[in-house]
């Protein structure tokens, strides 16, 4: 098994793929930023620096758990926030795979062009026959796969922007 490919150069064949991977990263950064703003607003400190300082080193998973906990007290749009957290968690695994995976250069088959992403970490799974360790899990992605993922992220971004804008009007005192 060939573990690493020759370093890819940008070219007409791969630039669309890399652009879509980059766009997913950018959209997810925006998503994470909106989550922090929503948490800060729900904390409702009299000082923005205090709210920001409390969560500045959190990763997305920690912030989603914190959002859920804080909102149990605030009871703000509970169903909408719970559903949104669920959607983000579903997207998060794929985002991590995209960002931390090892990418092949563009390949061509009978269906057209694609890239392959591989996870080089050991993954533990427990199954009916005991335990199983796997490594080098790979998946193929076509441009349409990236476009579908971006649509899912964009849909969550719309919800988060609405929540954040509506929270600007809330007074939890």
Alpha carbon distance 2, 139 (integer Å) = 15
Give the separation between CA 88 and CA 22, rounded to whole angstroms: 18
In a domain, residue 44? The reply is yes
Cα angle 121, 126, 132 (rounded to 5 degrees) comes to 50
% of the chain exceeding 90 in pLDDT: 39
Report the length, in residues, of the chain: 173
pLDDT digits over 92-112, tens only? 988 888 888 887 778 888 988
Q: For residue 173, what pLDDT band results from cuts at 50, 70 and 90? A: low
Structure tokens at 27: 């959209």
Least confident of 64-73, 126-135, 142-151: 126-135
Q: Which domain holds residue 80?
A: 15-101+143-167
Q: What pLDDT, on a 0 to 100 scale, did the predictor assign at position 5? A: 54
In a domain, 120, yes or no: no
82 belongs to a structural domain? yes
In a domain, 135, yes or no: no
Q: How confident is the model at residue 172 (pLDDT cuts 50, 70, 90)?
A: low
| C-alpha gyration radius of the chain | 20
Asked whether 156 and 26 are in contact (CB, 8 A), the reply is no
Q: What is the pLDDT of residue 118?
A: 82
- pLDDT value, residue 44: 81
Quote the pTM value. Answer: 0.80
Q: How many domains does the chain have?
A: 1
Phi, psi (deg, nearest 5) at residue 172 = -90, 10
Mean pLDDT to the nearest integer, 49-65: 87
Cα separation, 55 vs 41, whole angstroms: 12
């Amino acid at each position: 098994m060939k573990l690493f490919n020759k370093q890819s150069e940008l070219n007409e064949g791969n630039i669309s793929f890399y652009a879509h991977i980059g766009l997913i990263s950018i959209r997810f950064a925006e998503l994470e930023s909106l989550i922090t703003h929503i948490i800060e607003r729900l904390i409702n400190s009299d000082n923005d620096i205090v709210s920001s300082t409390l969560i500045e080193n959190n990763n997305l998973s920690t912030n989603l758990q914190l959002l859920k906990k804080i909102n149990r007290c605030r009871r703000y749009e509970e169903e909408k926030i719970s559903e949104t957290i669920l959607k983000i968690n579903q997207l998060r695994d794929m985002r991590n795979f995209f960002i931390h995976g090892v990418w092949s250069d563009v390949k061509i088959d009978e269906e057209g062009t694609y890239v392959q992403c591989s996870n080089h970490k050991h993954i533990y799974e427990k199954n009916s026959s005991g335990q199983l360790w796997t490594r080098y899990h790979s998946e193929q992605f076509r441009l349409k796969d990236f476009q579908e993922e971006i649509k899912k992220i964009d849909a969550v971004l719309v919800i988060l922007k609405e929540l954040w804008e509506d929270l600007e009007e809330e007074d939890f005192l």
